[in-house]
Amino acid sequence: MTKSLLSSFKEFVEISFWKYKKLTEGNLSNGHYQHFYTNFFYLPESFYNGKRILDIGCGPRGSLEWATMAEERIGIDPLADKYLKMGAKDHKMQYIKAYSENLPFSDNYFDVVCSFNSLDHVENLNKSTSEITRVLKTGGLFLLIVDIHNYPTPTEPQTLKWDFLITHFDGFEILLEERLKSIKPGRIYFNAQSKIPLSEKNTRNGLLVSMLQKK
């Protein structure tokens, strides 16, 4: 994939953010991920026994270190090479530099694909969702946590709407769909864990949590 000026700027902003987090936190923690892959989606840890897992837009924290029972645990991110230099090379998972629009895997390869706080960051939503569908096995799960917002930002250019699951994942069954309030801007895991449902009708901003199964 040829990188656009927008992608170059977005990646500069994102790596600057992570360098700041690294400076202020020291070791970047990852203990919260286990909960969001399991109990949060009503999945037992044993579900992941022997599974191949892909985290799209994984970041540098080691999101899949907890999944010691999995056959493969891979994170893809355009900044993966830079994350390795920040200490991610010590994580017990594989990092691959790649874009979601062109995933370097064969068809029907993964049992679980995850996108936490990343699908609104992609440059081409249609290509990204098509690639997710392609690499996921029939019967496999797609786990999603994403902000729904009606304005683009430098790092979140996709202004997703609530119905985009229907328009972009028509070959899936929706097993779980929750529309939640974003009570603290930029704190997606806090907002997800708070699980405060949206009460306002026709609101254009919030947090979407969903689990889909490929038919």
% of the chain surpassing 90 pLDDT? 86
Give the model's pLDDT for residue 34: 98
Beta-carbon contacts of residue 210 (< 8 Å; ≥ 6 apart): 143, 144, 165, 174, 176, 177, 178
Q: Is residue 1 over pLDDT 60?
A: no
pLDDT of 37: 98
Q: If pLDDT is split at 50, 70 and 90, which confidence band does 148 have?
A: very high
Give residue 3's pLDDT: 63
Instruction: Categorise residue 87: left if φ over 0, alpha if ψ from -120 to 50, beta otherwise.
Output: left
pLDDT (mean) for 104-123: 97
Percent with pLDDT over 70 in the chain = 98
- pLDDT computed for residue 7 by the predictor: 81
Mean pLDDT rounded to a whole number for the chain: 94
| For residue 214, pLDDT beyond 60 | yes
Burial of 15 (0-12, 13-18, 19+ CB in 10 A): middle
From the list 75, 79, 132, 127, the residue with the least C-alpha distance to 109 is 132
pLDDT reported for residue 153: 85
- Inter-CA distances, 60 with 14, 49, 75, 145, Å: 11, 24, 9, 18
- What pLDDT, on a 0 to 100 scale, did the predictor assign at position 199? 82
Task: Say if CB 116 and CB 55 are below 8 A apart.
Answer: yes
In this predicted structure, what is the pLDDT of residue 4? 75
Alpha-carbon dihedral sign for residues 145, 32, 89, 47:
negative
Can you give 162-209 as a three-state secondary structure string?
Answer: CCHHHHHCCCEEEEEEEEECCCCCCCHHHHHHHCCECCCCCCCCEEEE
pLDDT tens figures, 114-142 = 999 999 999 999 999 999 999 999 999 99
Those residues whose C-beta lies under 8 Å from the C-beta of residue 115, and which sit 6 or more positions away, are 55, 56, 57, 100, 132, 142, 143, 144, 145, 146
For residues 194 and 173, what is the distance between their CA atoms, to the nearest angstrom? Answer: 25
Q: Residue 166 burial by CB count (10 A; 0-12/13-18/19+): exposed, middle or buried?
A: exposed
- Least reliable range by pLDDT among 6-15, 37-46, 94-103, 175-184: 6-15
Q: What local confidence, expressed as pLDDT, does residue 2 receive?
A: 56
The tens digit of pLDDT for each residue in 167-178 reads: 999 999 999 999
Map out the domains of the chain with their CATH numbers. Answer: 5-214 (3.40.50.150)
- How large is the average pLDDT for residues 76-92? 96
